[in-house]
Structure 1
Amino acid sequence: MKKATTVFLKTVVILIGFPILGLCIFLVPEIGHVAAEMLPEWAYINYFVIAIFYAAVIPFYLALYQAYKLLLFIDKNKVFSESSVIALKKIKYCAITISCLHVLNVPLFYLFAEIDDAPGAVFVGLVVPIASMVIAVFAAVLQRLFQEALYIKSENDLTV
């Protein structure tokens, strides 16, 4: 049962990467183009928006790789190991990086909201940073839990 679950989760982790790759190829240049059209006095904003989105993809794929490694550790019954703690730490830092990068785009969503008179657009711009911070907090909690379990495990190994 456990093996089937981790195989399913590994498949999901791999499949998550494909839509993001598609978004990077097709949607991100379009978003940059729209930003340049809506703000013609800042035509260079196109490059800024594209750079932020592409820069955020790098930690996203690094976090996916770390999640895949974590699932491999679960398969090998090494979930409470130093390697798992390190993987969770890297996932946490990747999520924080993604959140910080997408916060740089929030003023752009504010300008879009001003132009279109749609105040909800600012909240749309906050979805990715808030979701990334939730993932970072969850990874930090799991990291702490795994560290405590690793400490208890080492204490029990020493007493036997």
Structure 2
Amino acid sequence: MERGTTLFLKAAVVLIGLPILAIYIFVVPNIGNFAAELYPEYTSIRIWVWIDLYATAIPFYFALVQAFKLLVHIEHKRAFSDLAVQALKKIKYCGIGVGGLFAIGMPLFYLMAERDDAPGIIVIGMVIIFACLVIAVFAAVLQKLLQEAIAIQLENELTV
């Protein structure tokens, strides 16, 4: 793969992380405060919303780092290596982790949607969970294909 293509993809990975960082900095505190306004009798709901949403940042950014590493492996002609397989495996687990954390937080968001009469909150949460699981399945398929390609490559090297 050409260096320009991987450079573009690396920039895309970084640019994906920046708006999400802005959401974590500026929007997540407001979501917690909004939940606290809806349920003033539950003083800890704000903290639980923050914990759930900020916990999703850890696997998300870890997956972005792994995607960046995968692009570095591709750039250095190590696309068919165990390092690339491990990066895809980690991306798969991160997708499952982010989806799982959002699924764990869905009861909180259901409470917010119920009180505010805004079913869109539930739909947005379900779309995020679905997208995370699609990414995890896609990474798992790529991981399996890459493992098979590596096995075929090793078999051909032994034949020659």
TM-score of the superposition, structure 2-length normalised? 0.94
Structure 2 partner of 1:21:
21
Matched, 1:102 2:102: yes
Measure, in 2, the Cα distance between the counterparts of 1:119 and 1:15: 30
Aligned length: 160
Q: Which amino acid aligns with 1:114?
A: E
Q: CA deviation at 1:108?
A: 2.1
Q: CA deviation at 1:145?
A: 0.4
TM-score of the superposition, structure 1-length normalised? 0.94
Provide, for residues 43-77 of structure 1, a one-character-per-residue CA deviation record: whole Å limited to 9, x for no partner: 20111111111111011111001000111111111
Deviates more, 1:109-118 or 1:85-94: 109-118
Q: Which runs of 4+ in 1 moved over 4 A?
A: none
Which consecutive unaligned segments of at least 5 residues does structure 1 have?
none
Measure, in 2, the Cα distance between the counterparts of 1:42 and 1:126: 25
- The 1:27–1:121 alpha-carbon spacing in structure 2 relative to 1, beyond 3 Å, is closer
Question: Alignment RMSD, CA only?
Answer: 1.3
Provide, for residues 86-137 of structure 1, a one-character-per-residue CA deviation record: whole Å limited to 9, x for no partner: 0000000011110110112211222233223333432122121111000000
Structure 2 partner of 1:82:
82
Q: CA deviation at 1:159?
A: 0.8
Give identity over the alignment, percent: 55
- Counterparts of 1:61-72 in structure 2, within 5 Å, are 61-72=61-72
